[in-house]
Structure 1
Amino acid sequence: MAGTIGPMRFSVERDVFADATGWAARHLPSRPGLTPSALTGLLLEAAAPAAGPQPGAGLLVCAFDSEVAVRAPVAAAVEEPGRVLVPGRLLADIVHSLPATTVEVAVDGDRLVLRCGSVRFTVPLMDLADYPELPRFPAPIGEVNTLGFAAAVGQVAPAAGRDETVPVLTAVRLEISGHGLILAATDRYRLAVRAIPWQPTVDDPWALAHVPAKVLAEVARTPTSASRIVIGLDLADPAGARLGLAAAGRQTIVRLIDGTFPNYRKLLPETAAYTVTAQTAALAAAVRRVAVVATRTAPLRFTFTRDQVVAEAGDGSGAQASETIPVEYSGPELSVLFNPSYLLDGLGAVEDDEATIGFVAADPAEATARPAVLTGKDSGGVRGPGGGPVDEGAFRYLLMPIRTGSAA
């Protein structure tokens, strides 16, 4: 029968089935018209209990868009094993709409039948012969704390580029070594770097991986009860190097991006000529308020004087706004332009109550031509003159000021 191996029949609780199909459907091709139609389907694999994907499971829900493959194990009572391909987003929507009780699922001819209480849906099966083989999970190389990894990705991924013409800039650079993991991303206008500990399970785990930022971000924001994420890596796969991330049985396998990532280390200064310390939440709130009157591409002007900064937006022809924020600063007057969205991304990533902005240029007139580095006050980062080297473990966010007459 096209689209199935075996008759397939199983029962599953609606909530867990909805969670798995919804999660897998998020990884289906975003532009289905540009991809083979088979990839718009969700693959359901039901196995007998002894041969299930993991103890207590019995069902796998899988998706693949040629770049990213995902597998979600689901606790299900399998009466007859089988394998079918079903229109993915339609199935996810159907399961989400069902009453919160047991769902009976079975193949009937060329259709999948779902019964839940008095509700019955039938869905046409897709031709399984057109579905490619999913990549295997790469050999595990170590584990990382789930919350720590999610926090680091959340800090770094927003700085990745969105211009697909330079694919490597849409990636998070993952530097893997026995000492820890370093995540870095840049879109040329800003740079975010964070180092975190991990637990390697192989000798000499040194490697570099350019991982699509949107995939890492999706993994990081997916709720899970797992305290650790397993990392797998295969740089020798003939079909393309792949990274695997697994938590609570769910697997995400992504093809890595080729390309040369910028040498970001030479951009990060060890010291700053001047530093400004502000309450993180207060500064972010002020930026949001003042930016209300700014046009979409217009920067905000920040004028730093002793113990205060004035944020301003608008010009003489339209609405204007300004706000004065208290800060710790004792240097000369500095006036710089920042993209408010980029600045807010950096402030949102600071985990401390106070944020420090370090200005590299010793000459105030050069402040607009040299980068500023944002970090938490107590998490290391750029020091003042004579303050020592940069702490590798600190979150650092380098932001280029906007020169007059230009826009980021």
Structure 2
Amino acid sequence: MGAGREGWLEVKISIDRADLAAALSFVAAMSPACPLQPVLAGVLLTAASGRLTLTVYDYEAAAETTIDADISAEGAAVVHAATLLRIVGKLPAKPVVFEAGERELLIRCGSVRASLPLMPVGECPQPTFDAEPLFSMSGARFEDAVGRVALAAAKSAPERPVIIGVHLAVSEGGVTLSATDRYRVAMFAVECATTGSATVAVPASVMREAAKSLGSSEEVSLALTSSGAVVFEGERGRLMSQTLAGNFPPVAGLFPQRARSTALIDVDAMSAATSRGALALAPEDALQFTFSESECSLTGTGDASSIEDGFEVAFDGDLDLQVRLRPQLVLDGLSACRATEVQAWFTHEPSSPRPGPVMFTAGDGYRYLMVANQK
């Protein structure tokens, strides 16, 4: 491979197809769908010291991983990341050989012959992953925490883009993750090893990708660059992302310190009844839950149908308490608690015309708060 379209080195690289496919999948996930420049859709292939490093970077996000390879000479080349991933995904289970020409990368695998046009290496930006570490935890713990919190992030918020992210508050002894879409808040305080303190908001899409890609690692670390970007690192490689600008809402103050009423709920029973009740509703409609001492009845009334159901609870508070909640918010919260039973806190005030929020907790540091619909 070479350093542009001049002065090419003749390089031949042989790589295990499965390793190459996994590496390409890892980096291509961070490749931009609509790059500002064609070269930003490329993957930089750098061959050196018996290793092939794959890098993508578009100034907003980056990914890098390294795999073993049989290399005849050192060099670099850039080709379109998504196209190379599609080709490699269809290759037979045999070694893959790359050979660089002046204008194209030749690919051989068994009887397959393919080629991709080369992009100029000199125009491909290269990220700097140097960063100050903030925290580390097991990959499984990281994946679980992200999954339980990121579900509450807004899908789109042009007027306040910071809420499409997961807020990370790192302090001595742990990190607190939180997210909100204005209809709910998820917050999880996780104990882990920390080496600094900071507060940042990272796009929820990046957090999910980092959790998915690095969750199998024995350890995942997060670090902060001097420019304010975050770097996630695990066994498969490194991911980098710019953080979100703006002040994240002070959601911690929304969680109640006490409850007027509480209910101990079987997760499977409430999930099943909620799913059935939702069948009668339009997506934005709410189910009515009515709590008595030992039972919760629910009613779903839509334009063309209605469903009534119920399940057992252990309720302590104002009898016949009624609250209207969106089914999907309920189902997400029950699932994210990762428990067979959850405790629901009701903060209603009978004298107020507005129903109070409802909180689910399972006692492991995770809290999930939902806005109740008005009648």
Query: Same fold by TM-score, threshold 0.5 exceeded?
Result: yes
Match of 1:53 in 2: none
2:208 to 207, 212, 217: 217
Q: How far apart are the structure 2 equivalents of 1:104 and 1:354?
A: 54
Q: Does 1:147 align with 2:140?
A: yes
Cα distance, 1:77 vs. partner?
1.5
1:292-333 deviation per Cα after TM superposition (whole angstroms, max 9, x unaligned):
221122122212122111222223x40222221111114311
Indicate the residue corresponding to 1:190 in structure 2. Answer: 184
Q: Secondary structure at the match of 1:329?
A: strand
Q: CA RMSD in A?
A: 1.8
Q: How many residues align?
A: 370
Residues 42-191 of structure 1 aligned to structure 2 (within 5 Å):
42-49=43-50, 58-165=51-158, 166-191=160-185
Indicate yes or no: 2:6 matched with 1:12.
no
1:145-168 Cα shifts (integer Å, max 9, x gaps): 211111111111111112241111
Percent of residue pairs bearing the same amino acid type? 28
Structure 1 Cα separation of the partners of residues 286 and 208 of structure 2:
27
Q: Which runs of 5+ in 1 are unaligned?
A: 50-57, 381-393
The residue matched to 2:72 in structure 1 has which SS? strand
Deviations along 1:84-135, one digit per CA (max 9) or x if unpaired, are 1111111000001011121111112211111111111111112223222223
Are residues 288 and 6 of structure 1, via their aligned partners in 2, closer, same or farther at CA, if it must alter by over 3 Å? farther
Contact 2:106–2:113 (CA under 8 A) maintained in structure 1 = yes
Contact 2:230 2:242 in 1 (8 A): yes
Contact 2:349 2:356 in 1 (8 A): no
Judge conservation of contact 1:336–1:367 (CA < 8 Å) in 2.
no
Compute the displacement of 1:142 (Å).
3.5
After TM superposition, give the deviation of residue 224 of structure 1 in Å: 5.0
What is the correspondence of 1:195-344 to structure 2 with a 5 Å cutoff?
195-200=189-194, 202=195, 205-222=196-213, 224-234=215-225, 236-237=226-227, 241-315=228-302, 317-331=303-317, 332-344=319-331
**Residue in 2 that maps onto 1:385:** none
Distance 2:31 2:207 in 1: 16
Q: TM-score, normalization: structure 2? A: 0.93
Q: CA deviation at 1:265?
A: 2.0
- Unpaired segments ≥5 residues, structure 2: none
CA deviations over 1:188-238 (Å, ceiling 9, x no partner): 1111110111212x4xx121111111101111122654211122112x32x
Q: Does 1:347 align with 2:338?
A: no
Instruction: Tell whether the 8 Å contact from 2:357 to 2:369 is kept in structure 1 after alignment.
Output: yes
Query: Given that residues 142 and 215 in structure 2 are in contact (C-alpha distance below 8 angstroms), is that contact kept between their aligned partners in structure 1?
Result: no
Give the one of 374, 380, 398 matched to 2:369.
398
The question of whether the paired residues in 2 share the 8 Å contact of 1:137 and 1:253 is answered with no
In 2, the alpha carbon distance for the partners of 1:153 and 1:354 equals 21
- 1:302–1:15 CA distance, 2 compared to 1 (3 A): same
Q: Is the contact between residue 140 and residue 230 of structure 1 (CA under 8 Å) also seen in structure 2?
A: yes
Amino acid at match of 1:117: G
Query: Relative to structure 1, is the Cα distance of residues 395 and 260 closer, same or farther in structure 2, using a 3 angstrom cutoff?
Result: same
